Structure 1
Amino acid sequence: MTAKLTRAVRCTAAVLAVIAVGAGATACDSSSGSTSSKAGGWSGLQGGSQEKAQAAGDSMKNVKKMAEKGSRTDAVNLASTASTASTTGAESKRCHTGELTFNWGGPHGGAPDMQADYQQMATVRLANSGNRTCTLHGFPGVRLISTTGETWDLPRSSDKPSTMTLSPGDDTSMVSMNILPLPNAMKGPKPFKVSQVLITPPDETTHVTLKWPYGGAVLDQSGATRPGTFVNPIGIG
């Protein structure tokens, strides 16, 4: 009885360690106390050959690297530029939500491959639809809403923001999100099927709601400390 209890504790600790980095689901072999990947990593591997096990291990390492590459668990849209926006001049120049239009697509109009087994990028181009020149600086707030009504406030990357200046009509800025798709063939990990995306520009309190146009699902890491899905600061589009 004692030996079985000890193995169960070791197994539970191993599973929690995997979940903490959002690496996917695992299963425990109660007879040996070891953990094995039900999903086979992001390569969708099946079977137990040494080559497949090595590939699964490499895939899992890639997931951890992608997650560690960037995310802080800041709130949805803290005043990321409070020191800048605190001055009267910065406040008067800031782009307001109502002065911007939001359209899916990056510099080259690319769309994320939602069946890929590696990190993708989804981008929203911002255009100044007002009649004055304004600036954007910092992180947007991004909230994903699933087809079942669940919400996920994306954490921020570790990238440093820079100031973007938009003249009337300019569309040279964008919101970019690194996302970790969950291919249809991948069984085990929980999918987050995105239906809508709420975007709040830096230092604003009102948002726009965009319909998610790409289908598929992302790996549900909404409770992870360093998920592979996160938002970057406003950048050049």
Structure 2
Amino acid sequence: MTIRSLGVRRAALLASSVAMVGLLAGCGSGDDTANAPRTESGTTSPSDGTSSAPSGVPTDAVSNSLTPSAPQSPAGGTRCHTSELSASVGRNNPGAGQENFPVVLTNESSRTCTLYGYPGTAFVDASGKQLGPDPKRSSAEPETVKLAPGQSAWAGLSFANPEVSGAGTATPAALVVTPPDEEDPLKVAWKSGEVPVSGNESSVRLIPFSPGTGA
């Protein structure tokens, strides 16, 4: 009962955020793929593979300068740095034509640190080229998540099932994840198949970090 309840909670959170984003964001951003991933994190990690430092991904392809409107972390001095974290992608929890994945960051350091806001994310091919448009953020209010050594936080990543939406697809080699307020990314092997990369239903949506793994 506990596992099912958590799964239902996660799906409800993701469905709610997707609905809000749909009202605010409108249509997707066209069918051009970017030449390099831009994993903008908001001030602001288990399925397949954990990574603590990417290889073969150009630095300029994963830098994540904050946008002027990004919220500012109330705990900047204690924030978790990329070198202290590992990233993973949790099990899909599909529903209502949506694919829903938790992007999990785990504190691998010996100190307590914090996460606030959204991760920077980008699907990339084997050469490091970004696939699909930049993700869209929900309007959910971020919270500061305190991570003791070994603890995790998850951010929801969702997109419409391409078989339902009819969007153009590609199969990524990895998901690049940049922690909030950081410039150095983490890279997680993507083993969950095709993702939408073109057409009006190609948007990937994010909700901010919450405590736990989202399982």
**Aligned mates of 2:116, 2:22 — CA distance in 1:** 24
| Greater per-residue helix proportion | 1
Equivalent residues of 1:144, 1:196 under 8 A apart: yes
**Aligned mates of 2:162, 2:202 — CA distance in 1:** 13
1:168 equivalent in alignment to 2:153: no
The amino acid of 1:232's aligned partner reads I
**Aligned mates of 1:196, 1:118 — CA distance in 2:** 23
TM, length-normalised to structure 1 = 0.56
Q: 5+ unaligned residues in a row in structure 1: which ranges?
A: 1-63
Sequence identity, in percent?
27
**Aligned mates of 1:91, 1:177 — CA distance in 2:** 24
**Aligned mates of 1:209, 1:165 — CA distance in 2:** 23
Q: 5+ unaligned residues in a row in structure 2: which ranges?
A: 1-17, 30-37, 45-69
For the pair shown, which has the larger CA radius of gyration, 1 or 2?
A: 1
Structure 1 residue 136: Cα displacement? 0.4
After the TM superposition, which parts of structure 1 deviate over 6 Å for at least 4 consecutive aligned residues? 72-75
- Residue of structure 1 in register with 2:197 after alignment: 220
* Distance 1:211-1:142 versus aligned 2 partners, 3 A rule: same
* Distance 1:70-1:131 versus aligned 2 partners, 3 A rule: farther
The amino acid of 2:196's aligned partner reads L
- Residue of structure 2 in register with 1:177 after alignment: 157
1:138-177 superposed matches below 5 A = 138-146=117-125, 149-152=129-132, 153-171=134-152, 173-177=153-157
> RMSD between aligned alpha carbons?
3.4
Equivalent residues of 2:136, 2:203 under 8 A apart: no
Q: Which has the higher contact order (CA 8 A, sep 6+)?
A: 2
Cα deviations by residue, 1:9-45 (Å, 9 ceiling, x for unpaired): xxxxxxxxxxxxxxxxxxxxxxxxxxxxxxxxxxxxx
* Distance 1:228-1:133 versus aligned 2 partners, 3 A rule: same
- Residue of structure 1 in register with 2:206 after alignment: 231
